[in-house]
């Protein structure tokens, strides 16, 4: 098979317990669920509807606070606006950003589908727990670049795999049926170079920060 990101040849990873197959690319280190195992949009939304993500969940709120702490001092001090792309049913991150003084637009495929970002540019674009659901991440990174102000920041959160096939098959994160693509920091380096962005910061666990 051919890698959906970089075009190089992939190897198959078979999960006989779940009855699924993945494609691993040794060039960009992406791992992709084969398309025939993707869930349809009805089942995808049903999975998201089951998430209990709100301000009443301290762990969920702290996850976003830690996320922002990682790059907040790198943000331009004159920043005024942000886009939270893939905000989910409860836009907690957007409200935290508003509390920090930013005007925030939100977009979500299911819960806020109006493309409010059209004809706008942002100082900050966030996308948390979204990229593992995307079939074409390059398309979305290119979209983000189009709507990013000069010197702005794109901050993404998705749990990285450790590039070990045996560990991958034991990994809880891939068991969510809506998770179809998995990354390492190197994957984002490749993606960034393909759309004219650059990685400026990465915690090697789940957060990557890019700029143009």
% of the chain exceeding 90 in pLDDT: 90
pLDDT at 43: 93
pTM of the predicted model over 0.85? yes
Domains by residue range for the chain, with CATH: 10-211 (3.40.50.150)
pLDDT tens, position by position, 175-207: 999 999 999 999 999 999 999 999 999 999 999
Q: What is the DSSP track for 71-92?
A: HGGGS-TT--EEEEES--SS-H
C-alpha distances in Å from residue 80, one per residue of 117, 122, 156: 15, 8, 19
pLDDT on residue 178: 96
| pLDDT score for 57 | 79
């Amino acid at each position: 098979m051919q890698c959906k990101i970089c075009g190089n040849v992939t190897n198959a990873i078979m999960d006989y317990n779940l009855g699924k197959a993945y494609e691993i690319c040794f060039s960009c280190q992406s791992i992709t669920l084969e398309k025939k195992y993707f869930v349809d949009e009805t089942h995808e939304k049903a999975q998201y509807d089951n998430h209990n993500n709100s301000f009443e969940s301290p762990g969920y709120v702290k996850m976003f606070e830690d996320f922002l702490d990682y790059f907040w001092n790198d943000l331009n001090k004159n920043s005024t606006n942000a886009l939270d792309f893939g905000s989910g049913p409860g836009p907690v991150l957007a409200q935290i950003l508003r509390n920090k003084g930013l005007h925030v637009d939100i977009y979500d495929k299911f819960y806020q589908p109006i493309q409010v970002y059209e004809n706008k540019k942002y100082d900050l674009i966030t996308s948390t727990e979204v990229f593992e659901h995307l079939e074409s991440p390059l398309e979305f990174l290119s979209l983000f670049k189009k709507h990013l102000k000069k010197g702005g920041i794109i901050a993404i959160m998705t749990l990285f795999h450790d590039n070990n096939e045996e560990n991958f098959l034991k990994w809880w994160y891939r068991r969510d049926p809506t998770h179809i693509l998995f990354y390492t920091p190197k994957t984002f380096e490749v993606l960034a170079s393909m759309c004219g962005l650059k990685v400026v910061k990465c915690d090697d666990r789940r957060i990557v920060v890019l700029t143009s």
